[in-house]
Amino acid sequence: MAFIGRRFLFILLMGSGLVLIRTPHLKAQDAGTTANKSQQDTNDPDYDPRKRQRSDKERYKAQRDLRNELKGTYKTWLNQEVAYIISDDERKAFMTLSNDEERDSFIEAFWQRRNPNPDSPENEFREEHYRRIQYANDHFAAGKPGWRTDRGHIYISFGKPDDIEGHPSGGTYQRPQDEGGGSTSTFPFEIWHYRYIEGIGENVNLEFVDTCQCGDFHFTIDRSEKDALLMVPGAGLTQWEEMNHKDKTDRFKGGGIERLGAGPMGDGAQSKEFDRIELQAKIFAPPPIKFTDLNAFVSEHKLLTGPVFPFDVRTDFVKVTESMDMVPITLQIRNRDITFQTKDGVSRGLVNILIRVTTITGKTVQTQEDTVEINQPAELLQQALDRKSIYWKALPLVPGLYRLDVAIKDVNNPDHIGLYGRGIDVPTYHDEKLGASSLILADEMHPVSSRQIGSGNFIIGGDFVRPRVAANAATPVSFNRAQNQTLNFWMQFYNLGIDEATKSNSAKVTYEIADAASGTVILTKDLDSKDLGSHSDELTVQKTLPIAGLQPGKYKVTVKINDAISKQEIAQSAPFVVE
């Protein structure tokens, strides 16, 4: 240690770390240097103020502004409507969103992730959730809204119990043997029994006590809390206390959470107090991520240790509004890569799927978890192995750059994991600029009923469109002549000009099929936009063409539009192979 006037420096060697402790004088110099550097950076023509490190004061102000910005319906949704069912990761992601469009997209995806029947036009989970909130408010209010009470919390999270043991007025109570036996007097209380709660277990008993006798039944893990005579000497004794085996004061020795008193089964009950603490933690915790193992591969970039589970991915883009796109994500898995287990004549394969979309700054904006089940009669399994299974999910996203991560697991072979990750650029469809969706080549396409429009798997607008999925971006999709397959393609055009006098559009839509090698056009067809929707600035082109007349080889289909009013033209092309 050396002292040089008033300037000195402590150098401490601790383990393998070197710690420098500067004097206030040196700190002042550093501060001046930092200030000068900041000034120099400001004068630098390449200086970007967005990359400047914020001070603590600025960071706290930004956090305060964010909390103030989250108000109105969004604050109500987060802190009241979904307070008990939103996960910590989802809450954190929602708090990082910067505008209402992102929040609307997040909320829509939040409910869609929980929809047990994506093919239904109604979201059964959302409807049941809001019904439970209303029921809680109608039946459990006690000086505060019913949803804020413990009974309301449990009812909203887990629904109606299978059985309720109710003691609305308290009074005389004959204890069961595991509570010490004997007779006492109680406060009003209820015991809710659930035969099974996912993630918690079977035969779950939850106890609520109204110690204030004001109608506010709170959850408790202390079964002695309902005993109104607990603190009265010589009253409400257990069987063993009445037989002079134990003194009532012994209940308050040992530091346990319960004061049940001694009895034939009392010691065993006391030893399970940690189980009751764990039960409380699980009951009031937000629902966990279902596929934590897959989440580790996506979030923590955990390395694969087993054989790779191969799958193919396709992403498409369809305009919803100027500030919102629908992004259909299609996964294709070969049945031969799935592990099937046969029982009672049925072969069953299970695949867990995790989809996550994050911004370029790492904010999670979409998470989707699903389990896909493939069932086949055991005698037909060998034929089924030559086919493929398709999974489809449409995610609403605000235009911008994102990272898409997909992880899948073969449930019957847990080490069989597959990963996919890539950047996606969700396009912006400006009002004054002619735009187009993805050109989708589909193996099946047909109109749907009015009740199905806009909802369900593979449904885009009023059409069922199941995309063909290629092995990778460089490999075109294939159609088989021998199997009498047809070429289906679907596409939308946006922001066509509308004539002010006629209030109609005026454009020519052309689709053609050309030989990929020579460029020779084999088929071409013109369509008038008025035949597809004369008064609309949006047109949908969907066609089904036989491929019997095409020789085996590589081809390209192109769909283009020439808008006579806006004087704009746009086209999309997609390659395919005829086998």
Domain assignment of residue 558, given as a range: 429-579
| 511 within domain boundaries | yes
Which residues 6+ apart lie within 8 Å of 27 measured at CB? Answer: none
Give the C-alpha separation, 190 to 376, whole Å: 47
Is residue 525 within 8 A of residue 572, CB to CB? The reply is no
- 251 lies in the same domain as 267: yes
> pLDDT tens digit string along 20-48?
333 344 344 444 444 444 444 545 555 55
Which residues 6+ apart lie within 8 Å of 569 measured at CB? Answer: 434, 560, 561, 562, 563
- 324 lies in the same domain as 358: yes
Which runs of E-coded beta strand occur in 159-266? 163-167, 171-174, 183-186, 189-197, 201-209, 218-220
- 504 lies in the same domain as 556: yes
| 112 within domain boundaries | no
Is residue 170 within 8 A of residue 228, CB to CB? The reply is yes
The pLDDT of residue 265: 58
Give the C-alpha separation, 22 to 258, whole Å: 54
For 519-527, the CB contacts below 8 A with 24+ separation are: 522/550, 522/555
- 434 lies in the same domain as 407: no
Percent of the chain residues topping a pLDDT of 90: 44
Query: What average pLDDT does the segment 262-279 reach?
Result: 67
- 395 lies in the same domain as 519: no
Percent of the chain residues topping a pLDDT of 70: 83
The pLDDT of residue 452: 73
| 143 within domain boundaries | no
Among residues 400, 427, 454, which one ends one of the domains? 427
> pLDDT tens digit string along 341-384?
999 899 999 999 999 998 888 888 888 888 889 999 999 999 99
- pTM for the full predicted model: 0.64
Torsion of CA 34, 38, 44, 50, to 10 degrees: 130
381, exposed or middle or buried, with CB in 10 Å at 0-12, 13-18, 19+? middle
Per-residue pLDDT band for 408 (boundaries 50, 70, 90) equals very high
- 579 lies in the same domain as 444: yes
| 152 within domain boundaries | no
| 64 within domain boundaries | no
> pLDDT tens digit string along 220-232?
998 889 999 988 9
- 247 lies in the same domain as 367: no
Among residues 363, 392, 427, which one ends one of the domains? 427
- 253 lies in the same domain as 326: no
Residue 440, φ and ψ in degrees, nearest 5: -105, 120
Residue the block writes with tokens 């107090």: 273
Question: Which CATH number is 302's domain given?
Answer: 2.60.40.10
- 280 lies in the same domain as 307: no
| 51 within domain boundaries | no
Among residues 228, 257, 284, which one ends one of the domains? 284
Give the C-alpha separation, 548 to 546, whole Å: 6
- 443 lies in the same domain as 352: no
- 569 lies in the same domain as 437: yes
Q: Is 151 left (phi over 0), alpha (psi -120 to 50) or beta?
A: alpha
Domain count, the chain: 4
Query: What average pLDDT does the segment 172-192 reach?
Result: 90
| 67 within domain boundaries | no
- 436 lies in the same domain as 568: yes
| 520 within domain boundaries | yes
Question: Which CATH number is 562's domain given?
Answer: 2.60.40.3880
Helix (H), strand (E) counts: the chain: 13, 29
